[in-house]
Amino acid sequence: DQQVKQNSPSLSVQEGRISILNCDYTNSMFDYFLWYKKYPAEGPTFLISISSIKDKNEDGRFTVFLNKSAKHLSLHIVPSQPGDSAVYFCAASDGRDDKIIFGKGTRLHILP
Partner 1 sequence: NAGVMQNPRHLVRRRGQEARLRCSPMKGHSHVYWYRQLPEEGLKFMVYLQKENIIDESGMPKERFSAEFPKEGPSILRIQQVVRGDSAAYFCASSPRLAGLDNEQFFGPGTRLTVL
Query: Given the rule CB under 8 A, which of 10-18, 20-28, 62-70, 92-100 is the region that contacts partner 1?
Result: 92-100
- Kind of pairing between the strands at 106-111 and 86-93: antiparallel
Residue 20 vs 100, nearer CB to partner 1: 100
Burial letters 7-31, b for 16+ CB under 10 A, else e:
eeeeeebeeeeebbbbbbbeeeebb
Residues in binding contact with partner 1, number by CB under 8 A: 23
Q: In the bound complex, what is the minimum distance in angstroms from residue 16's beta carbon to partner 1?
A: 29
Q: Are 111 and 15 in contact (CB under 8 A)?
A: yes
Q: Are 22 and 108 in contact (CB under 8 A)?
A: no
Overall residue count recorded for the chain in this entry: 112
Instruction: Tell me if 4 contacts partner 1 by CB under 8 A.
Output: yes
Interaction pattern, residues 25-54, with partner 1; x per rule: CB under 8 A: -------x-x-x----xxxxxx--x-x---
Contact residues for partner 1 (CB under 8 A)? 4, 6, 32, 34, 36, 41-46, 49, 51, 89, 97-105
